[in-house]
Structure 1
Amino acid sequence: MEGKFFLLIWVILLLGQLHGYKSCIDKERKALLELKKYIISITEEEYSDYVLPTWIYDTESDCCCWEGVKCNRTSKRVTEIAFGALYLRESSRLNLSLLHPFEDVRNLNLSNYPWPISGTYYQLPISGTYYQFNGLFDDVEGFKSLGRLRNLEILDLSCNSFNNSIFPFLKFATSLRTLFMRDNNFNVPLPAEELRDLTNLEILVLSGNGFTGSIPVQGN
């Protein structure tokens, strides 16, 4: 009888582990939905129904399988976030503080590229003009906001409408190893000083811009 009791306890614990594996932790699920809510608020009204359609208010839904989201298999924490192409209002800005709950995020894709699905690219079934983020802001952390994402290694900001105001934010993302900033059409001198603190950076892609000047090289 005692053996059956311990077997029952073991089965309950195993089922609990399996259930927990299915989805990200509750704190990050709620944060993803807050992020979606914010994106909807800066989206052209007629396109709001097409924003992140797989991110749904259903506790049975596996948020680690939502489009653009990946999780660590063991910890169930979110490690990758991507929005894909959006129909944002012009001059829309991303509030970085909404990303702070994702303490283990390693790959953040804010580019204006559609997602590949089954060999094809996901496009909204409507016509219009894509706008992506014009800038970043955080009323609390300010320029240091990206520094809160201590495990962030890959950041893709391609195909946006950023200007030089983004660089004071980037200089605090010292954990970055890869930074994509192609096709933003900066057409300004490269603010080299803002990149000097990115000492872990191994890959920097700046094609499709009009930068002038040189890129700083770290000494040994």
Structure 2
Amino acid sequence: MKSCSAMESTSCLKFSLMSLIWIIVLMNEMHGYKGCLETERTALLEIKSFFISVSDIGYDDEILPSWVGEDDGMSSDCCDDWEGVMCNATTRRVMQLSLNNTRRLKYYDRTSASLLINMSLFHPFEELQRLDLPGNWFTGFYKNRAYDSFGSLKQLKMLNLGANFFNDNILPYLNTLTSLTTLILSDNSIEGSRTKQGLANLRYLQVLDLSGNFNITSGSLTRLGLANLTNLKKLYLDQCGITTIQGLANLTNLQVLVLSDNRNLTTIAHVGLADLPNLKALDLGYCGITTIQGI
């Protein structure tokens, strides 16, 4: 780099100062305010506002209290100090969001309440790999934005939607999350009777938890597309009300199969457990099993 002469020293100094200012501006833009990107910090505060808006009055101070904005007058790092938020150490982008039991209600009546989650709230998080939303009593997604929002979550690998009231209507949207390796849908209202493809596109899925969906009946496993999930290693079907488990013979990588508490499951005669060579754990507790063939 050419050095400055005495006559050029003033101009050179001005150039150096301007360069330093631009570097500081760019660093602030990259890392945002106090730790994470400003766009993602703003998005996190919008998520907090959403949960406050769908909760009963009087719980504002209990909902994500460590998530504070400039107006709160408290300094905090949204990557290091905010509960449930984990960022990439290099890019400072949000990688994980844990929003377990975040909604607050004095009383819940599932017969009258209907709460849709707007997945576009998570659109700014381009490096999001894990999203936990259990125990918030969601019943579905906003349809007008769901496909676009899920399409933006290209790096999402783990999704926990357990302990909500989702039904088969969410399956077409979930089926677009082809990067998923873990999907938890336990304790919802999934039936598998109102779907064509089910989850058949999730070919990288290794863990699937459908436990506690009491109305998954005979034939539903096929309609849920489980036969296509050939990379599946763990499958939880306890307390599902199933009577047969046809359609699982293609799951040659399956290591754990939990079928407990299916009282009407009386026979395993057609699944061909011998076709599951990597199976290490099979839970049949509290079932009505009288016949096991194919072992």
Cα deviation, residue 155, structure 1: 0.1
SS in 2 for 1:53: coil
Alignment of 1:62 with 2:77, yes or no, is yes
Q: What does residue range 15-26 of structure 1 map to in structure 2 within 5 Å?
A: 20=31, 23-26=35-38
Q: Does 1:87 pair with 2:104?
A: yes
Residue of structure 1 equivalent to 2:58: 46
After superposition, the Cα gap between the structure-2 partners of 1:185 and 1:138, relative to the gap in structure 1 and judged at 3 Å, is: closer
TM-score, with structure 1 as normaliser: 0.76
Residue of structure 2 aligned with 1:216, choices 187, 209, 227: 227
- Partner residue of 2:190? 186
**Which SS does the other structure have where 1:81 is aligned?**
strand
Kindly report the root-mean-square deviation, in angstroms, between the aligned alpha carbons of the 2 structures: 2.9
Structure 1 unaligned blocks of 5 or more = 1-8, 113-130
Structure with larger RCO (C-alpha < 8 A, sep 6+) = 1
TM-score, normalised relative to structure 2: 0.58
Q: 1:51 to 1:138 in 2, by over 3 A?
A: farther
CA–CA separation in structure 1 for the residues paired with 2:171 and 2:141: 10
CA deviation after TM superposition for structure 1 residue 25, in Å? 0.9
Larger radius of gyration: 2
- Matched residues, number: 191
C-alpha spacing 1:204/1:192, structure 2 compared with 1 (3 Å): farther
Q: Is the 8 A contact 1:144 1:169 kept in 2?
A: no
Any stretches of 5+ residues in structure 2 without a counterpart? 1-19, 232-295
3-state SS of 2:183 partner: strand
- Within 1, Cα distance between the matches of 2:39 and 2:181? 27
Q: Is the 8 A contact 1:171 1:197 kept in 2?
A: yes
* Distance change (3 Å), C-alpha of 1:218 and 1:32: closer
**Contact 1:134–1:161 (Cα < 8 Å) also in 2:** yes
Task: Tell me the residue number matched to 2:10.
Answer: none
Q: Relative to structure 1, is the Cα distance of residues 23 and 219 closer, same or farther in structure 2, using a 3 angstrom cutoff?
A: closer
| Percent identity of paired positions between Structure 1 and Structure 2 | 39
Task: Quote the offset at 1:107 in angstroms.
Answer: 0.2
Q: Does the 8 Å CA contact 1:94/1:133 hold for their aligned counterparts?
A: yes
Distance in 1, matches of 2:194 and 2:186, equals 13
